[in-house]
Amino acid sequence: MNIKSIAALLVVSTLVLGGVLYRSDDPVPEQSDEAIKSYRLSNGMKVLVIENNRAPVMVSQVWYKVGASYEHDGITGISHVLEHMMFKGTEEHPAGEFSEIIAANGGEENAFTGQDFTAYFQKIANDRLELCLELEADRMRNITFDEKEFIKELEVVKEERRLRTEDKPTALTYERFNAVAYTNSPYRRPIVGWMEDLDTLTVDDARKWYETWYAPNNATLVVAGDVDAEEVFRLAKQYFGKLPTSEIPELKPRREAKQYGTQRLTVELPAKIPYLLMGYKVPNLTPEIVGTEHEQELYALEVLAGILDGGNSARLSKNLVRGQEIANSAGASYGMTARHETLFVLSAVPNDEVAIEVLEFALRDELNTIKTQLPDDVELDRVKAQVVAAQVYKQDSTFYQAMEVGMLDTIGLPWKIKDDYVEKILAVTAEQVQQVANKYLTDDRLTVAVLEPLPNGTEDDGMAAASLAGEKNAE
């Protein structure tokens, strides 16, 4: 998450049940706050409800604790392929019927796969809640794996990879950048998968992945909107409570291997514009860090990203794009909410006749300025005002209210951080911003990737290239 994208999405979470006894046939009340009510069914499925009575609509989301970071070499992309297969039907509702039913009832539905999760959602009138839960419960454990349908969807995913990555030089550069920046982190693998792995995936691979991870004890149901929590819990118990569980594999902790010096790569592709990426390894927010003195460092990194790239008044735009006029576009991004160590990324597209080395030097110079000179109060106030405004605006979206709860719950963080976020950002000082810049934005944490254009290029959208680094988190 970075400051400039907070208005679109502030991810948050919920609390994990521990040491509570309950009857095997009843939902279990968990710790709740005024806005979020939580239950856990006897089969382990968590149910979170956000009551918002502003309009007679609701959002239903089912989150699974599985995504690209759970995969291993040889089956990359399987989570995303399975997302496609979830729309190919059950015995009760054949292929295509799920979407047809939702559309016939005036709703919208879709799904997305990330590094750390896969989620399915419907946006619909609040009197269609039961319909959504019945359909989702059916496909949680009853998908039919027809080999012809699998082959067809696999080809769809391959074409998606071609269009989104292989035919876009900046996207392909970003993919290779991640593969080099991370040594042993699962984030080095693309969400859509390597084409070489997609070529060898089988329907049995998808079936095994489904049977392992798609179970109530590995899922969270989030319902937000004009609903009654007790009714949601009753319907969740009715449709999900009887589903069998799965033995969820215990994941070993992953810690990124130590880096020894700056890593560099050059990607040569047909393109019209060069593209520069600079990524520094930085910590992410974990349950162990929450509440410790190190937690505030992450909020300082968020503010640092906002100082560099938080609108036209931010330093990269003001100094490199409009001031020196050496960059067509430039950006910075950081997301602290992830299961594994992540990157603080700078990205830029040079103006015509500007060498990529000049642009890299200018970006480094901007970082060195922060390392040696404290940001002023005006900059800090601008970034903090953006955060406060975003907190107000997000209340208008029922969908993102559900997302902010579902996402962090899925990666194991307490939902209280959504309430603490503004307070912790407002508490960041100029000294803390300078300290994290000096501590984490160092050469021994840096990976630099350069797209070097070859003739016959087709991509010339510099703004799209510079913003790519902040958008590659889900498919």
Catalytic residues: 83
Tokens coding 173: 């550069």
CA-nearest of 1, 7, 2, 50 to 388 is 7
Q: What is the 3-state secondary structure (H, E, C) of 180-207?
A: HHCCCCHHHCCCCCCHHHHCCCCHHHHH
Task: Give strand pairing partners of 125.
Answer: 57
Tokens coding 284: 């992410």
Residue 471: DSSP 8-state: T
Contact 74, 197 (CB under 8 A): yes
Contact 40, 32 (CB under 8 A): no
Q: Roughly how many angstroms between the first and final C-alpha of the chain, as a whole number?
A: 16
Q: What's the length of the chain?
A: 475
Taking residue 353's Cβ as centre, other Cβ atoms within 10 Å add up to 7
Contact 62, 72 (CB under 8 A): no
Report the SS3 class of residue 373: coil
Residue 115: what are its φ and ψ, rounded to 5°? Answer: -65, -35
State the amino acid at position 261 in one-letter form.
G
CA-nearest of 129, 121, 82, 81 to 105 is 129
DSSP 316-339: IIIIIIIIS--EEEEEEE----SS
Residue 100: what are its φ and ψ, rounded to 5°? Answer: -65, -40
CB contact set of 364 (below 8 Å; sequence gap of 6+): none
CB contact set of 152 (below 8 Å; sequence gap of 6+): none
